[in-house]
Amino acid sequence: MIRIVAARTVRAECTAAYEQLARELVRASTAEDGCASYTLNRKVDDPQGYCFVEVWRDRATLEAHQASAHFKEIVPQLGEMAVPGTSRVDVYEEI
């Protein structure tokens, strides 16, 4: 299994729009073959801090996700709402 933690801080004026668009990404991604879990999370102590936690069957299904139309359309829009320099993506492999 491949796990992704993709975190960022969102500009205060964009949080509602970010959440709405992120929910679209979650809906489309969880329907993909190989997606075991895909959630949007907000930091408890920072209402502008968000992360996606994703679990994929293997690298091939992750790569297919990253090539999907919804990923290519939505992720750049989400990035535009982020505070510059705050985005981080960590990839883990279950051992």
Residue-wise pLDDT for 22-62, tens only, equals 999 999 999 999 999 999 999 999 999 999 999 999 999 99
pTM of the shown model: 0.93
Burial 69-78 (b: 16+ CB within 10 A, else e): eebeebbeeb
Residue 60 maps to which CATH number?
Answer: 3.30.70.100
Quote the number of domains for the chain.
Answer: 1
pLDDT of residue 10: 98
- Can you give the pLDDT at residue 13? 98
Mean pLDDT of the chain: 98
Range of the domain at 68: 2-93
Question: What phi and psi values does residue 42 have, to the nearest 5 degrees?
Answer: -115, 140
Residue 67: its pLDDT value, please?
98
CB 41 within 8 A of CB 23: no
pLDDT at 40: 98
pLDDT tens for each residue of 49-95: 999 999 999 999 999 999 999 999 999 999 999 999 999 999 999 99
